[in-house]
Structure 1
């Protein structure tokens, strides 16, 4: 049994410790982290799951990014990640629960698309597919750049370089 709640500032260090436990050393050197630098995660889409003992069993965050063509046309997207489940709770469906809950929340907030860098065999079950023409900063393997449409055809025609969120881009209105 888990209690799922919004991540609060008081959860930050415990969540970061979970990410350190679940991911390889140097995780913050990945290009996806450069897209998150000095950009706050989306309110309502950063969740923690606590076990019956009160410790964090899982966590997920979403960040705004933009995908811009060479001629300057930009589309907004969410960047899912990281999502992590404590090793003692892996295989219990908690990661999937967090993903489904936040995808529904993103849709309710007016977001049209979500992307991530991850393993297709795991994320395909949530509707994520390889994105053609959407380029993450190097050194990202293009086969691991995946996306899911929250509205029909939301990825149609979206191509270009993924870059940091720009304050001049409005967040979706729900």
Structure 2
């Protein structure tokens, strides 16, 4: 699999992958309210393609604010069921995080399972709140979170 930046032509295939991998009500989640009318970070919206240019995985990032602090909201990230178990999801996350740091981003958060994401450097964020209804134990972050507290809000 090769990672490349998502293009506008990939949009519908990526959306179909997200629909396949997540519950039908995924767009009703609070994280989607933070994404409405905000463009994803193009340099960090990646797809994993095989030699036939078929997308096997995808990841997107979105700018958000916590008080006066900028952060990146990771997600969604999805791997096609036929490619799961190959480490592709971890590869997408690790590679995109390296790109985020290289671009000067200081912190990344997501809503997910701490047991899974811990191996990728994420930990539960205390003092950072996603809009309800979000389980605070699933609000995870990596990077420089020193002194960053408050409610996650849409990027202006």
| TM-score of the alignment, normalized to the shorter chain, above 0.5 | yes
Give the structure 1 partner of residue 142 of structure 2.
148
Task: Decide which structure has greater helix share.
Answer: 2
> Where does structure 1 lack aligned partners over 5 or more consecutive residues?
69-73, 167-174
Give the structure 2 partner of residue 139 of structure 1.
133
> Where does structure 2 lack aligned partners over 5 or more consecutive residues?
none
Report the Cα offset of residue 55 of structure 1: 1.3
Bigger Rg, which one: 1
Give the structure 2 partner of residue 48 of structure 1.
47
Give the structure 2 partner of residue 119 of structure 1.
113
Report the Cα offset of residue 58 of structure 1: 0.1
Give the structure 2 partner of residue 71 of structure 1.
none
Aligned pair 1:92/2:86, yes or no?
yes
Give the structure 2 partner of residue 63 of structure 1.
62
Q: 1:162 aligns with which of 144, 147, 152?
A: 152
Aligned pair 1:75/2:81, yes or no?
no
CA RMSD of aligned residues (A): 0.7
Report the Cα offset of residue 157 of structure 1: 1.2
Q: SS of the residue aligned with 2:43? A: coil
Count the aligned residue pairs.
Answer: 156
For 1:28 and 1:113, how far apart are their aligned partners in 2?
Answer: 24
Provide TM-score, normalisation by structure 2.
0.98
